[in-house]
Chains A and B, each alone.
Chain A
Amino acid sequence: MNQNYKSDILKGIKSGFPIFIGYFAMSVAYGIIAKGTGFTCFEAIFFSTIVYAGAGQYITLNLLNSGAAMGQIVVTIFLINFRHFLMSASLSAKLKDRKLLPLLSFGITDESFAVAYLNGDNLSSYFTIALNTTSHSGWILGSAVGFLAGNFLPAKLQTILTLSLYIMFIGILVPAVKREFKVLYVILIAGLINVSLGFLIPSGNWNLIISIIIASIIGSFILDIKENSWIIYY
């Protein structure tokens, strides 16, 4: 029995490694900006450790730089991160064992969720926790490095590093579309709704979550669940 857990954990670390790298790159950029916003080294790293929300942390820094109040930031980040509620719900439906849920759920982020979810049928808690922890350590490490040494990077590299989050998203989506073309419809519909809402309600905090919900509902009529189709091989 112990062998199963070990191989699950090893698989989790292996699957998490690309995310580790991607998050490292992204969080170096975050660390640099955090320093510029006036965070102390402890605060910048603490943020990455207990909140652990890439896009959310970036947006927080943006809001602080434009003088937002604490209450405003908390509500905004709550709404922006609320999509993880849906992701946890999706994962919960796929999880075969339910161990250490408080720890497992802590590490649910966009990429780790996508990788965990698309990893196949029998989702194990050990795999997921190993995946999340590997990813998270990249994020924390990069934050520290970015804060302390980021300014030593060539300026051009500092500028383009922020794209790494989206490059990672694409790296996850393109193989999925190759496997099942209809997935592209869901992606595009979600994007379209988000852009449309962006015009109608420019500073809408709900836009992201509404887009995800509507696109997922539409998607449920376009796509069939054949569990095998959603497997991504790394």
Chain B
Amino acid sequence: MNYILLIFLLAVVTYLPRMLPFYIFDKDKISYRFRKILNCVPYAALGALIIPGGFNGIKNQQLLSVAGLLIAIVVSYFQKNIILTMVITLAILYPFA
């Protein structure tokens, strides 16, 4: 397979959906309801990505993945530095990998 061609096609189908909304949806033209819906998108998107994707975050190791997610939740509850959360969580998981 021509990987370069594949990559170009993927770039096109990825870029267009990212770009068009900025031209279609202007700040002043959307209704209050629609704004409320769009406001929920980050949470819905991340939620749908983690569940159930995160459960298999470490390939074929669901238990370890879920443990990692729970550790990350606890760590990020007490401190909000994302990098630190990552380092601590991976450090705790490491011996069990």
Contacts and interface: CB of A to CB of B under 8 A. Distances in A.
Interface of A: 17-19, 21-22, 25, 39-40, 43, 46-47, 50-53, 55-56, 60, 64, 70, 73-74, 77-78, 81-96, 98, 101-102, 104-106, 108, 110, 113-114, 117-118, 156-157, 159-176, 178, 183, 186-195, 198, 208, 211-213, 215-217, 219-220, 223-225, 230, 232-234
Contacts of B24: 89, 92
B72 A225 contact: no
Q: Which 3 A-B pairs have the closest CB atoms?
A: A191-B51, A219-B40, A187-B47
B59 A162 contact: yes
A160 B93 CA distance: 8
Contact of A159 (B17, B54, B59, B77): B59
B39 A208 contact: no
A5 B57 CA distance: 38
Interface of B: 1-11, 13-15, 17-27, 30, 32-33, 35-54, 57-59, 61, 64-65, 68-69, 72-73, 76-77, 80-83, 85-86, 89-90, 93-94, 97
Contacts of B35: 93, 225
A191 B54 CA distance: 11
Contacts of B52: 191, 194-195, 198
B93 A50 contact: no
Which of B1, B23, B76, B81 gathers the greatest number of chain A CB atoms within 10 Å?
B76
B30 A93 contact: yes
B74 to A, nearest CB: 9
A188 B45 contact: no
A93 B35 CA distance: 7
Contact of A81 (B7, B17, B25, B64): B17
A162 B76 CA distance: 18
Given A93-B30, A212-B44, A51 B11 contact: yes
B97 A159 contact: yes
B69 A157 contact: no
B18 A105 contact: yes
Contacts of B89: 163, 167
Contacts of A86: 21, 38, 41, 45
